[in-house]
Amino acid sequence: MTIRDVLEIVDGKVLTGEKYLDTTVQTACGSDLMSDVLAFVKESAVLITGLINPHVVRTSEMLDITCIVFSRGKQPSEEILEMADEIGITIISSPLTTYTACGELYMRGLPGSKPKAVKTAEGA
């Protein structure tokens, strides 16, 4: 699905990165623990989180996460939006809780990132 689909499914608002709405996303991850996100997320992923600080964007940049959905209608600061804009990450604010947003996306076919226990020769 595309970021535009994600936006509709989570009933969200785009706060920055409108021009990337047609980008395809392949997996998603719902977590407030950036340590966990760093440990298993793959590229072309959406991150759904209730945690709001600049490290969410920085973590996303390191992992090539293309879209962040802040749940429960949380509003990130200008600093966070500017960082995301500079990197080219779409930020969406959704009124849904993290659990519900993840559930809706999963139900419509967006799978979770699988834990990478061992290094594999993936995605050539």
- Cα Rg of the chain (Å, integer): 13
- Scanning 7-15, 22-30, 55-63, 97-105 for contacts with other proteins by CB under 8 A, the matching segment is 55-63
Euclidean distance between CA atoms 30 and 50, whole angstroms: 9
Cβ 59 to other proteins shortest distance, Å? 7
Binding mask 11-40 for other proteins (x = CB under 8 A): ---------------------xxxxxxxx-
What amino acid is encoded at 58 in this protein?
R
Q: What stretches of the chain adopt beta strand conformation (E)?
A: 13-16, 27-30, 45-49, 67-70, 90-93
Cβ 101 to other proteins shortest distance, Å? 18
- Give me the residues that bind other proteins (CB under 8 A), please: 32-39, 43, 51, 53-56, 58-59, 61-64, 116, 119, 122-123
